Amino acid sequence: MRRLPWCMRTFMRRGALIALTAVQSLVACGSNLLGFTNEEDAGSTASLPPTFDGAVLTDAVADIDVSAPYDASDQAVSCATTPCVVELVGGALHFCARTRDSKVWCWGAAAALPADVADAGSPDASSVVAPRLVPVDGATQLSAADSLTCARITDGSLRCWGTESTEVGLLGLAQAADAGGIRSIRFDEFDAGGAEYVVVGPRAIYARTSSEAVISWGLPYLTAHAPPDDGLPRVASLLDPSVIEMASAYTTIALTAGGKALSWGGSEVTLGRESPVIPDPVPHQIPTLPAGITSVAMSWALGCAVAGGDVYCWGTKARLPLRQPTQGPARAQRVYANPLGTKTGHDRVIVRMTDGTLECQGTDYFGECGIPYGAVVLDESNTFVPKFAPANLVTGDVVSVAMATTTTCVLLRDGSVECFGGNKHGELGHGTADDSRHSNPERIRFE
């Protein structure tokens, strides 16, 4: 039986089929991050939109050919390096890594890090930080969005730090911050065992407890609380209790144990279904996706799902591969190897294949696709990769991918981390910043 996989961004299985980092910046993920996906097949037929029978959603019928079964097993880190990274997450302008000894390292924009970890006592967005240890012990899972990061601790509590949206006040619900700006969140009133997994979104946070209840708080249209909803921590009673994976931005998507995708929230184009109400606070199934979904992802601009080894995406037209349809799940073209996972960042999509290689489509202005310059034909802007192309500059065996707005980091099977793309906020981990293109992966030093 699959364990609850939650993570950013999303609730997700570690090393899972789809992982999304809800980054906000430009709307990011703000109109910034995209969802994961493969390229749209020019000859395929987009899924039909759902229809309504009164107020009840019914499935529309679409002729969708699903690929043959493939090996979707979780990928493990072999730990051939020290320290050995076993989990990697990204926000808009920062990254954090969890090592085998349950330590947490973060780097990038100082505003996303605890005050005593940053170079300055009062971090601001102009200062950058090389990889540094966060004073948190016993971390078992990480999740990040925008400038906010949370770590699940062995006692079932959360430790969270960074800069939150003043619109939501996600950290204001926690206990007072310690001297370094780290806040503790406990779930004793809901479950003595605390949280098992956490998914941090830019507008809501979700925590799965040991009793398999989902506790959520944030903007009311994202919490899945029964009305009236004040946005405070409560059981997400409108949500199917069999949920095993989630991802959140303006819209939240959840995967049930039965392989169905549910969506709810505030963006019409990323719901992936019709709704009489926007924002729609009630989770409903996306009826036009095929059966047997194994992973889901959501960003500000796109939602995606993996089924039978194929990736399906829907959302803002300008951010879909090949600028395809805007509403209703659309069939994404198969990449010619079975995709194991996908990740999205600012106007780009990266697909992780079962052989540990990557393919990328989207904006490559700073080299964030990992594609050799001149290796592919770009669009008229000369910065956009219009079709999926191999990220040949990434030569290691990739286990997972994390994204910031203009930077990509990969966790390799040996437990090391490499990053490429933009470095305007120190995302490459040197402790310095620049506006140059960095398409060649650079090893992150945890010293």
The confidence score (pLDDT) of residue 438 equals: 97
Residue 158 C-alpha from the chain's centroid: 19
Tell me if the pTM is above 0.85: no
DSSP calls for 272-333: SS--SSSSEEEEEE-TTSPS-EEEEEE-SSEEEEEETTEEEEEE-GGGSGGG--SSS-EEBP
Omega before residue 9 within 30° of 0, cis: yes
Q: Is the CB of residue 425 less than 8 Å from the CB of residue 119?
A: no
Instruction: Find all residues with CB under 8 Å of 39, minimum gap 6, and list them.
Output: 321, 322, 332, 333, 335, 361, 387, 388
Tokens 């000369």 belong to residue: 382
The confidence score (pLDDT) of residue 173 equals: 60
Q: Measuring CA to CA, how many Å separate 429 from each of 406, 408, 432?
A: 14, 12, 8
Q: Is the CB of residue 165 less than 8 Å from the CB of residue 202?
A: yes
**Chain-wide mean pLDDT for the chain?**
76
**pLDDT tens per residue across span 78-110:** 999 999 999 999 999 999 999 999 999 999 999
The model's confidence at residue 406, banded by pLDDT at 50, 70 and 90, is: very high
Taking residues 228-234, what's their average pLDDT? 84
The CA-based angle 83-399-320, given to 5 degrees, is: 130
User: Percent of the chain having pLDDT more than 70?
Assistant: 71
Report the residue count for the chain: 447
Residues 137, 117: Cα–Cα separation, whole Å: 14
Look up the CATH number of domain 6-37+77-258+339-443: 2.130.10
**Does 71 or 109 have the greater pLDDT score?**
109
The b-or-e profile of 161-174 (16+ CB within 10 A means b, else e) is bbbbbeebebbebb
Residues 199, 245: Cα–Cα separation, whole Å: 9
**pLDDT tens per residue across span 148-170:** 999 999 999 999 998 876 556 67
Considering only CA atoms, which of 165, 288, 231, 227 is closest in space to residue 215?
A: 231
Q: Measuring CA to CA, how many Å separate 250 from each of 146, 264, 269, 358, 436?
A: 13, 9, 10, 27, 31
The confidence score (pLDDT) of residue 137 equals: 92
**Does 431 or 324 have the greater pLDDT score?**
431
Q: Is the CB of residue 141 less than 8 Å from the CB of residue 98?
A: yes
Q: What's the one-letter identity of residue 201?
A: G
Residue 395 host element (H or E): none
Q: Partners of 305 in the beta sheet?
A: 296, 312
The confidence score (pLDDT) of residue 339 equals: 55
Q: Which residue spans within 15-157 are E strands per DSSP?
A: 51-53, 56-58, 85-90, 94-99, 104-109, 128-134, 139-145, 147-153
The confidence score (pLDDT) of residue 344 equals: 58
Instruction: Find all residues with CB under 8 Å of 158, minimum gap 6, and list them.
Output: 150, 151, 152, 174, 184, 185, 186, 195, 198, 207
Lowest mean pLDDT among 31-40, 145-154, 237-246: 31-40
**pLDDT tens per residue across span 34-67:** 222 222 222 222 222 222 232 232 232 233 333 3
